[in-house]
């Protein structure tokens, strides 16, 4: 069975700085998708970025980028130029056939 | 805008009193999911519908049931809510994709259930 591990329960970063959130996973599959979801306080979960495992190039979405290391089964999220609005819970997720396997989440606090 | 809508946003019920939460979508996605999320935890999948096919997670209590009368709507019924069922309930949708498996899910804002 697939598992997803986020080893950082909480992180903090100063506005305009860069922060990296860690995620590792375990699977025996070769083709799959990985996702980072953001859940701001009292607001709905939204997709931040996704990565297809068969693509070697790391995904990038504006200030958000990933470091995808397939052999190491690592999928970290880098947030550049952090903004106050980035304060949220961040969930790493593995796309398994018909459902998502979520990690336990990292609570990110961005300070002015 | 295409979206996932959940009603009500806040629901208060009494211990043991049945409650129904609703979800609707304008995305025309054929898969719909119900999650339970307790404070500061990851969402826990309860069940999902692939079109009309119901898929229950093995550890979902019998107290939780679901109905999907059509593509757009899905309901979560809690037959006899206990104090431990107080949580945020999230509805999500996704569309079927061919291999490789691809499961981007679109979430609603959630319904926060309080059990008194």
Percent of chain B at pLDDT exceeding 90: 74
Query: For the residues A88-97, what does the mean pLDDT come to?
Result: 90
**Chain B residues near residue A104 by CB distance under 8 angstroms:** 41-42
Mean pLDDT of chain B: 91
What is the SS3 assignment for A22?
A: coil
Nearest by CB to A99, from B48, B106, B109: name it: B48
pLDDT value of position A96: 74
Give B113→chain A minimum CA distance, Å.
13
Q: Cβ contact (<8 Å) for A44 and B55?
A: no
At B48-93, the pLDDT tens digits run 998 899 999 989 999 999 999 999 999 999 999 999 999 999 999 9
Interface probe, candidates A2, A23, A100, chain B, greatest B C-beta count within 10 A: A100
């Amino acid at each position: 069975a697939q598992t997803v591990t986020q080893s950082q329960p909480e992180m903090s970063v100063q506005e305009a700085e860069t922060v990296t959130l860690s995620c590792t996973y375990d699977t025996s599959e070769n083709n799959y998708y990985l996702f980072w979801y953001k859940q701001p306080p009292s607001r709905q979960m939204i997709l931040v970025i996704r990565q297809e495992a068969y693509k070697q190039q790391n995904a990038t979405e504006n200030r958000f980028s990933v470091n995808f290391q397939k052999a190491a089964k690592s999928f970290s999220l880098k947030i550049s130029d952090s903004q106050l609005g980035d304060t949220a819970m961040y969930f790493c997720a593995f796309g398994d056939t018909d459902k998502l396997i979520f990690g336990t989440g990292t609570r990110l606090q961005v300070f002015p | 805008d295409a979206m996932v809508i959940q009603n009500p946003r806040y629901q208060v019920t009494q211990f043991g009193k049945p409650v129904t939460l609703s979800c609707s979508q304008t995305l025309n996605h054929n898969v719909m999911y119900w999650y339970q999320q307790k404070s500061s935890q990851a969402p826990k999948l309860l069940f999902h519908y692939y079109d009309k096919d119901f898929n229950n997670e093995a550890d979902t209590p019998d107290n939780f049931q679901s109905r999907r009368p059509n593509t757009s709507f899905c309901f979560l019924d809690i037959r006899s809510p206990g104090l431990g069922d107080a949580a945020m309930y999230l509805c999500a949708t996704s569309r079927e994709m061919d291999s490789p498996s691809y499961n981007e899910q679109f979430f609603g804002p959630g319904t926060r259930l309080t059990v008194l």
